Amino acid sequence: MMLDDPAEDSAPRTVGGYRLVRSLGRGGFGEVFLGEAEDGTRAAVKVLHASWAGDADMRRRFAAEVEQARRVSGFCIAAILDADPGAAQPWIATEYIDGPTLQRAVAEEGPRRGVELHRLAVNTATALAAIHAAGVVHRDLKPDNIMLAADGPRVIDFGIARAVETTSVTASGVVGTIGYMAPEQLEGARLTSAVDVFSWGAVMVYAATGREAFHAPTQASRIARILGGGPDLGDLPEPLRGIVLLCLDKDQDRRPDAPALLNLLIAGPQGPAPSAAHPAAPQGSGVGATLVAPVPGTDPTRVAPPSGADPTRVAPASGVDPTRVAPAHGADPTRAYTRSVPAGPPSAGHAFAGPAAAGPPSAGHAFAGPAAAGPALPPPVPGGTGASARYTGAGGVPPYHFAGVRFTDPGALAEAMQGNWAAAVRVFGDTTERAALGAWLMDDLGDTVVDRALFRRHTDDANLALASFIGQTRPDLPPVFRGRGATLAELGALFSDPRPVITGAPLSNEMALLARPEVLRTMGLHHGPDPAAYQRLADDLDAAEHAGNTFHQELTGRLAGWRSAGPNVSPALILTFLLHPERTVPPSDGGDAGVGEWVDILWRRVDAFPGPAGVGHAAAIYGAMPTLQALSRQRRYWEERYTKVSTEHGALRDKVEQQQRFFRIRRYCNYALFAFPVGIVIGISGDAEWLGDLLVTLSVLALAASVVLSVVLRVGYGDPVRRGQRVMELNNAAAQLPELTSGVERIRADLVHARGITGA
């Protein structure tokens, strides 16, 4: 298992009057310690890493963040006690919260329920209101950054917070935690306080269910679900359920701000909670917020057409699809499309002209004229070209309205949706809207081209569903995904540089969404010079990702130091290597010889497996770079520690042996002093004067030697207390050596086993 590295970037033991007791955790920007002031006050002291402390821009941003955070009211957050952005290693001391994080509490005790959940929601929303009132955006609100103190929850870690004034002008990169990041945050767009409201909604889902709102097996699928799918709210109860849905709206402008959120939590929503796709109408309005105001002098129920446009105009079609089957003559003149919408008051964005049909249409559709019965849908016009089928007939085709335009041809609709991806993905991301579109295609038009599953199954990826609809309906169009061209040439240009993936730049999220086999296969629905190229690329991506994950599992299963290393095989990096094989080169070791040794060993596996498998192995090595760096640091620490303790042990052993030798000799000399009285007695008796003289002489010499040895011991080895301490130090060093020896041998054994795995 991976070991902590106490030698890495060690901070001073005293910071700003706080004695650093122990480390509480470390991150990419700094390390947090438990600190104690002279009066016993405890604080969480964050010290900026030495590598960042030398960066002038980082110092400036750190100082600005400290100044902004000082303006946040101290209730419901970990208040700032002191800070020094100008120190050699800038630091900030905040209130120490003695309690578990929400992440740990839910994992160990289970989801929150009832009053406890509501109290958590109110307190955290209050904290957000205080943070935003100070002009600060947290940007990384998640269960790990909410501490459950005895007197209530507290929001912590403003380490990556940014001032609203800064983030509203320019994006500073994607910072946050996947699963709790807002769509605009994932896309690297300009950020506002709305990102924290989205994160708050995701946190509440986790607190109530024990799982993420947008949970999925891979990072790419989690990103896709956040951008185009719906949240899984589990058994989240009302009224909190409706409030959370508002906060998780894809459109940041439709989310409540923190004060409005707090008001909703305190007062409760009036009437049924609106869904994320259908926000509440403005106060005083009887219809949705997006309803177009009528032009004075016109029928108040009729939508004003665009200037100069024929209000009855139908979007032109581009040709007849020979595979599209027209519905049988005599179809129900009331049209299934109009019947598919539930009865009730119109939703946001609806406008009607003429009498209501069997039920009002769903959001986003406008109708001109009565829904009168008409003749059956005529067959496609013969002689058409392209993949689009053009349906004609006076009043025979009920229109579908998208982006203010009436469509009677699916091909023209698909082309318009590809050109206005953001509006189209809202249709596919809303269950009701998608069902209405499916009813229009299948029941009203009798379409047999588009897969029914697009409209009858739940989808977590609206972007992929939209791309599939466009590809099936208009394969003659160039492939596009999320509004970005996706021809092979365009993919090659986008994936020409692996650095965004390696550094986590905003573009990496877009690359991750494209680098999925299902997306590539969907792009392959479009006609091109090599229709099978996308399929081959998707198959290679599948094979490479499998090989990379298998390689990682082999390393974690056989190497002790890898057991806690999570898999991080990036499909985006794989696709980069597949499209540009020349980019498949070993990662830089950054001047770290230990990392370089690991890379040299592991890269043998890449050389041994050409093709997709080798590409997958290369991506696994790039993904394991944080592990390699940690292993290298640990190896240096353990080897340096072993060398130091081993050297100290050898020196102590020699010195203790010498001092004990002198001590024994002096003790023998002291014993020899007893010969003095014996020699005197023998000399007086006169029986053996020579023996008496000898004993007296020996005792005098022993006395002199004892005095000399006492001086030597005192001067060379210290007083008895120090000599005793030296013996204890030797025993302690001897006790450490087995553990240090085991650690060093384990690290070296991992290198040996890795060579065996890769054949190095």
List pLDDT tens digits, range 344-365. Answer: 333 333 333 333 333 333 333 3
pLDDT of the residue at 724: 86
Q: Which CATH number covers residue 18?
A: 3.30.200.20
Q: Is residue 593 part of a domain?
A: no
φ/ψ region of 413 (left if φ > 0, alpha if ψ in -120 to 50, else beta) reads alpha
Q: Do 123 and 193 sit in the same domain of this protein? A: yes
Q: Is the domain of 70 the same as that of 128?
A: no
Q: What percent of the chain has pLDDT over 70?
A: 77
Task: Render pLDDT for 243-295 as a digit per residue (tens, 0 to 9).
Answer: 999 999 998 999 999 999 999 998 854 444 444 333 333 333 333 333 333 33
What is the crossing angle of helices 462-473 and 219-228, to 10°?
80
User: What is the tens place of the pLDDT at every residue in 642-671?
Assistant: 888 889 888 888 888 888 888 889 888 888
- What local confidence, expressed as pLDDT, does residue 354 receive? 32
The answer to whether residue 46 is domain-embedded is yes
CB 694, CB 744: distance < 8 Å: no
Alpha-carbon span 277 to 429, nearest angstrom: 8
For position 499, what pLDDT does the model report? 87
Is pLDDT of 330 > 70? Answer: no
Least confident among 5-14, 115-124, 496-505: 5-14
> Two tokens at 428?
């596919």
Give tens-digit pLDDT for 41-79: 888 888 876 656 666 767 777 777 677 777 776 667 787
Residues 81 and 147 in one domain: no
Q: Is residue 752 part of a domain?
A: yes
Instruction: Read off the pLDDT of residues 430-462 as tens digits, 9 standing for 90 and up.
Output: 889 999 999 999 999 999 899 999 998 888 888
Kindly state whether residues 212 and 255 are assigned to the same domain.
yes
Last residue of a domain, one of 267, 291, 309: 267
Spatial separation of the C-alpha atoms in residues 562 and 624, rounded to whole Å: 9
d(CA 394, CA 687): 153
List, for residues 593-640, the tens digit of each pLDDT value.
999 999 999 999 999 998 999 999 999 999 999 889 888 888 888 888
Q: State whether 233 and 134 are in the same domain.
A: yes
Conformational region of residue 110, where left means phi above 0, alpha means psi within -120 to 50, and beta covers everything else: left
Q: Residue 52: its pLDDT value, please? A: 61
Are residues 27 and 52 part of one domain? Answer: yes
Residue 93: the pLDDT is: 86
Confidence of residue 189 (pLDDT cuts 50, 70, 90): confident
- What sign results for the dihedral spanned by CA atoms 331, 337, 340, 346? negative
Mean pLDDT of 497-502: 87
Q: How far apart are CA 539 and CA 524, in angstroms?
A: 12
735 & 695 share domain: yes
DSSP summary character for residue 217: S
Query: Is the residue at 153 inside a domain?
Result: yes
658 vs 656: CA distance, rounded Å: 5
Q: Is residue 532 part of a domain?
A: no
- The answer as to whether 179 is a domain residue is yes
Write b or e for each residue in 517-545: b if 16 or more Cβ atoms lie within 10 A of its Cβ, otherwise e.
bebbbbbbbbeeeeeeebeebbebbbbbb
pLDDT winner (highest mean) among 178-187, 567-576, 716-725: 567-576
The pLDDT score that the predictor gives to residue 584 is 94
Does residue 365 sit within a domain?
no
Out of 64, 95, 126, a domain closes at 95
Q: Which of 426, 275, 303, 317 is nearest to 368 (CA)?
A: 303
CA angle 715, 718, 721 (to 5 degrees): 155
Residue 412 pLDDT: 95
On the question of pLDDT at 299 being above 80, the answer is: no
Which of residues 53, 74, 95 is at a domain's end?
Answer: 95
Task: Determine the average pLDDT of the residues in 148-153.
Answer: 84
Q: Which long-range contacts (CB under 8 A, 24 or more apart) does 340-349 make?
A: 340/435, 340/436, 340/439, 340/440, 340/443, 341/432, 341/436, 346/287, 346/288, 347/278, 347/288, 348/278, 348/279, 348/281, 348/287, 348/288, 348/289, 348/290, 348/291, 349/288, 349/290, 349/291
Residue tagged 């009677």 (tokens): 408
Domain match, 116 and 257 both? yes
| Residue 46 in marked binding region | yes
**Confidence tier at 678 by pLDDT (50, 70, 90):** confident
Predicted pLDDT of residue 716: 86
> How far apart (Å, rounded) are the C-alpha atoms in residues 138 and 177?
12
Residue 613 DSSP SS3:
helix
At 682, the pLDDT band (50, 70, 90 cuts) reads: confident
DSSP letter string, 355-417:
S--SS---TT-EE-S-----PPPPPPPTT--SS------TTTS--EEETTEEES-HHHHHHHH
Q: Give, in degrees to the nearest 5, the angle at Cα 587 between 581 and 592.
A: 165
pLDDT tens sequence across 474-492? 999 999 999 899 999 999 9
Same domain? For 235 and 125 the reply is yes
CATH number reported for the structural domain that contains residue 237 in this entry = 1.10.510.10
What digits encode the pLDDT tens for the residues 130-148? 888 888 888 889 998 898 8
Half-sphere exposure (Cβ direction) of 342: Cα atoms closer than 13 Å: 7
Q: Tell me which residue of 361, 347, 353 sits closest to 299, measured CA to CA.
A: 353
Residue 649 and residue 749 in one domain: yes
| Same domain, yes or no: 45 and 129 | no
Top-confidence residue, 337 or 591: 591
The reply to whether 151 falls in a domain is yes
Domain that includes residue 687, residue range = 638-758
Domains contained in the chain, number: 3
Question: Are residues 40 and 141 both part of a single domain?
Answer: no
Tell me the pLDDT of the chain averaged across its residues: 77
Given a cut of 50, is residue 514 above it in pLDDT?
Answer: yes
pLDDT (average), residues 719-740: 85
Of 44-58, 376-390, 521-535, 648-662, the poorest mean pLDDT is in 376-390
C-alpha distance from residue 543 to each of 155, 549, 552, 574 (Å): 43, 10, 14, 10
As a whole-number percent, the residues of the chain with pLDDT over 90 amount to: 34
Residue among 224, 268, 261 nearest 246 (CA):
261
pLDDT in tens, 210-254: 999 998 887 778 888 888 888 999 989 989 999 999 999 998 999
Residues carrying an active site annotation: 140
